[in-house]
A and B are shown apart, each in its own frame.
Chain A
């Protein structure tokens, strides 16, 4: 029953996902028609089109989808964990820590391998820092976690500003792209696919408990949910998803805040539906945004984070208005 009720939405999401992938594979400086695309996919030949498709566009599309999916998923979890509709994947300072790692790597002139590792390390450090401070005196409350995260975020913000103001103009350009979120250097591998799979299966396993937790910790406890274990799981899961996403693409804004709300407004409030659907919508949203980022002012590229805000803000307002009048 729960599935059939949302089949329409699922159909819509599948179409959006397919269309976004198609758009992404077809857009770019090298012209590629739909027929050529199909030809290259099924009868690969060693030509320019082959390289453009298999070495540039497909990896980038996958990277965009993975990043968007992880961010939306993390947003859903953070909003339930903190029971705050304003929560997003970055609210607890993970992107700040990651940014300090990445910007330091840029400052030191390290290659993209080390940049990614530095970004991930920074995120991990921030995750444990926030958890350690919030948890120091025994039981951690949501308010305590939120306050700690916000304060640590502010601290990272200051460090980021120091790095930006003391760096050379060249570096500042790359730093700004990283901070706004950029997919031009991004790659994903099998491990990212596995992470998404584990996220979906694990998410479905705890989805009912999330439904209860959304009603508050007292209610959830009284209905038999082991809050302490669940909170721990949610904090670390959402954190790892965020850390992975920012390591792939920098801190792309907006996806993690808006996609969960958009889906809730479209009726997918049950986490058995919301978690998997958020991956589809978050992923395809970022794929579309990235296609536009590559083509809007071609040959120059925009940071994808700018585009997510440009499309995200009006579409969110439209959904908000159309659901409020009901």
Chain B
């Protein structure tokens, strides 16, 4: 089967500096990938490049076998969704209006809202425990609620590939585990796939079965979770000693 996302010999640069050199990565359906690396290592740049916001001029990025740079925006948006680090509250809007925007790549009518789209948006609000907040203005919400609204919008978009940029921002531990657990179930129901950039090694260890670990000098390691998340690799990637302990079926990584 064709991978959802296939990256071949991609090199990412910012100005003259090489962030990631010669990246090869295939994300198949039902796979969840974590993207780890230091600040400025290129995690966000990579996600933005995959979604077509940032241009690339070496290598290839294919979504369902089609090159991203030649995809129509509306087609790409129906296949790939992203949770940005930045907020979504520039001009006023309610929670429901915002979540409904996730249907934008799919809507048919110029003026009318399809009842099915409304139902999908309401379902996402229920899933993220936002029911009752539908008519609230976004700018009156707490940081955690806004992050949940953004996640609800992404779920409403129903892409095949979910890109998350720091999904745990503003979320307390209970919400992190609950929301990512929900997303995990959702992804396996839809046979979708996930690529998640995060600073939280333990969150990636818990929710991702595969890891891309960005190292210095544009190098990277990729592969199954347990193979990549070792004390040696992490210490090298973060330039800081990292230790791991196992307890109650989890492996925890912490700076030493």
- A interface residues with partner B (beta carbon < 8 Å): 1-3, 79-80, 83, 85, 204-205, 207-209, 211-212, 214-216, 218-219, 221-226, 264, 269-270, 272
On chain B, the residues within 8 Å of A212 by CB distance are 101, 104
Which single residue of chain B is at the shortest CB-CB distance from A326? Answer: B137
Which single residue of chain A is at the shortest CB-CB distance from B88? Answer: A215
Which single residue of chain A is at the shortest CB-CB distance from B154? Answer: A222
Contact residues of A: prevailing secondary structure: helix
- Beta-carbon contacts under 8 Å, B67-105 to A: 73-78, 80-82, 84, 86, 88-94, 97-98, 101-102, 104-105
User: In the complex where A211-B97, A219-B88 touch, is A224 in contact with B111 (Cβ < 8 A)?
Assistant: no
CA distance A272 to B98 in the complex (A): 15
On chain B, the residues within 8 Å of A207 by CB distance are 110-111
B73: contacting residue among A205, A211, A215, A221, CB under 8 A: A221
Which single residue of chain B is at the shortest CB-CB distance from A272? Answer: B111
- B interface residues with partner A (beta carbon < 8 Å): 51-53, 73-78, 80-82, 84, 86, 88-94, 97-98, 101-102, 104-105, 107, 110-113, 115, 118, 157
Among B51, B80, B90, which residue has the most Cβ atoms of chain A within 10 A? B90
Contact across chains for B112 and A208 when beta carbons are under 8 A apart:
no
Among A2, A224, A272, which residue has the most Cβ atoms of chain B within 10 A? A224
Contact across chains for A224 and B92 when beta carbons are under 8 A apart:
no
**B146 → chain A closest CB, angstroms:** 12
Contact across chains for A79 and B81 when beta carbons are under 8 A apart:
no
CA distance A40 to B217 in the complex (A): 84
User: In the complex where A204-B110, A270-B97 touch, is A223 in contact with B102 (Cβ < 8 A)?
Assistant: yes
On chain B, the residues within 8 Å of A218 by CB distance are 53, 84, 86
| 30 A-B contact pairs sorted by A residue (CB < 8 Å) | A1-B112, A80-B91, A83-B91, A85-B91, A204-B110, A208-B107, A209-B104, A211-B101, A214-B90, A215-B88, A215-B89, A215-B93, A215-B101, A218-B53, A219-B84, A222-B53, A222-B77, A223-B104, A223-B157, A224-B73, A224-B74, A224-B105, A225-B104, A264-B92, A269-B91, A269-B92, A269-B93, A269-B94, A269-B97, A270-B97
Supplied contacts A218-B86, A223-B77, 15 more A-B pairs, CB within 8 Å: A1-B112, A3-B111, A205-B110, A209-B104, A211-B101, A215-B101, A216-B88, A219-B88, A222-B51, A222-B81, A223-B102, A225-B104, A264-B91, A269-B92, A269-B97
Contact across chains for A225 and B73 when beta carbons are under 8 A apart:
yes
Which single residue of chain B is at the shortest CB-CB distance from A1? Answer: B113
Contact across chains for A226 and B84 when beta carbons are under 8 A apart:
no
Which single residue of chain B is at the shortest CB-CB distance from A79? Answer: B91
CA distance A269 to B92 in the complex (A): 7
**A257 → chain B closest CB, angstroms:** 14
